[in-house]
Amino acid sequence: MSYIMVDIESDGPIPGDYSMICFGAVVVEAGLERTFYGQLRPISEKFIPEALAISGFTREQALAFPEPESVMRSFADWLASISKDRLMFVSDNNGFDWQFINWYFHHFTGKNPFGFSSTNLGSLYKGMVKDMSPNFKHLRRTKHTHHPVDDAKGNAEALLTMKDDLGLKIRL
């Protein structure tokens, strides 16, 4: 199984009505060198300026991004190059990130290479430390910048630290 850390930025709270503007993915492994970055043209006229601002892009910039279908097909091809075995989607906030990736894959390619499951990094950490209060974010080394590759790398670093320093049993 290959673990893929994913982070997305959007211009609103839900897919379909709003758009995923960009996303990043990193294979969770030593070095964190295998990454994917996609920018996507908005699919809706609706957007929340404050949400879009988090991505660092203007609406005009986003409207010039590639069509979502080609980006999602490229992402699917990249994922296929990673492993023929099962892929596990992992995210800091999988309730948010997963809904966009899953919707976009199904809408634009007909299927999601991750299947029907995802893992929440924050919940995993809380279970490891047996406490629902703390978060894992102190385990990141890469600064959280809202560039999705940076954020995915930081979260992957946290997962590797959970494995290497905190004893998480995970095959990478």
Q: What is the mean pLDDT of residues 87-99?
A: 97
Please state the domain count of the chain: 1
Instruction: Work out the pLDDT band at 82, boundaries 50, 70, 90.
Output: very high
Q: pTM for the whole thing?
A: 0.96
Instruction: Work out the pLDDT band at 93, boundaries 50, 70, 90.
Output: very high
Q: Would you say residue 120 lies in a domain?
A: yes
What the block records as the tokens of 66 is: 């590639």
Instruction: Say if CB 12 and CB 42 are below 8 A apart.
Output: no
Instruction: Say if CB 63 and CB 41 are below 8 A apart.
Output: yes
Which domain does 158 fall in, by range? 2-6+25-40+67-164
Residue in the structure block whose two tokens are 């294979």: 27
DSSP letter at 67? P
Q: What is the mean pLDDT of residues 50-57?
A: 96
Is the pLDDT confidence value at 84 over 90? no
Instruction: Work out the pLDDT band at 7, boundaries 50, 70, 90.
Output: very high
Note the pLDDT tens digit of each residue in 137-162.
Answer: 999 999 999 999 999 999 999 999 99
Residue 172 CA to residue 169 CA, distance in Å, equals: 10
Note the pLDDT tens digit of each residue in 22-49.
Answer: 999 999 999 999 999 999 999 999 999 9
pLDDT at 42: 98
pLDDT at 136: 97
Residue 31 CA to residue 9 CA, distance in Å, equals: 24
Q: Would you say residue 48 lies in a domain?
A: no
